[in-house]
Structure 1
Amino acid sequence: MTDAQQSSAWDGALAELGARDAVAILCRGLADAVQAAPRPPSRACLRLGGASIEVEWPQLADPATMPATMPGMMPPPAEEAAQEPTGHVVRAELVGTFYRQPEPGAKPFVEVGDIVEPDQQVAIVEAMKLMNPVVVDVGGRVTKILVDDAEGVEYDQPLIVIDQEADE
């Protein structure tokens, strides 16, 4: 049986069950797969058309470096220093995608070491297909760019650090 024929057969069987019952069966299948696993998945996908369940688990760490008390489990994440960067921090004003340049292939708005003036645009955050300028409210030297280009950012996430004392 080809994939197309199998998908068509699944769709017919799902149609006979009704959408609510079909979704309940798929959800039970997903729950059973997750419960049988030794650790929680990193991603799960459930489709109704073609009746598909996809579950993805994070890659295991090297067993040689695992503590004996955690067989098959990933080691706990390393504690990161939750230090606020030194200097004036420019933060995301909305959730979206961070861009360092006005368009692909263009020169970035700023680089580390550049001097910026108050009200100067230093990046863009795209949200819902709208390009929102990231504007600094102080002058100084850019000391760190904390986000990679085209990376998703959260509200109030630090983006850029400016040393106000290096305003020359």
Structure 2
Amino acid sequence: MTDRTAANGAAATRILLPDPAEDRDEQRLKLLREEIGKLVRDLPGTPTAVTGRVGEAQLEVVWTPDPAAPPAAPGEPAGPAPAAGSPPVPGRTVTAPLVGTFYRAPEPGARPFVEAGDRIVAGQTIGIVEAMKLMNHVVSEWDGVVAEILAEDAMAVEYGQALLRLEPDET
């Protein structure tokens, strides 16, 4: 609130008027809290960290995979099932962790994270899925050679959709 003084004859009266900048920040904070609540409810797994900022409206959520997801059977790749309507893909596949837009490179015009024939290691970023203006890194769970890229750049993807096929290293 801003303290403003109005004069009425010889007597002065103090009138407290809301500061428009404070109102905007309160509105932004309220919208940010609502967005964080939606993300926490809608993302699979358990959030481990949430960061919000009103100025410049930044929002970051870090979460772990859903421990309630069924474990993979022996000899089966871990991770979500292929999206409905997707044909099974031989080898191991890296799948979309959520619904969004898949990007093969960190920014437009940049070199893709991986190409067919590249050797990758577990934990290496293979792409990004943008969801709700958040860039979510997609990482491989296995070491191996990229056999085939299955998703095009800037393609809409579903949860569990195969993004690339990997020929894993034998251990």
Instruction: Give the structure-1-normalised TM-score.
Output: 0.49
Instruction: Give the structure-2-normalised TM-score.
Output: 0.48
- Bigger helix share: 1
- Bigger strand share: 2
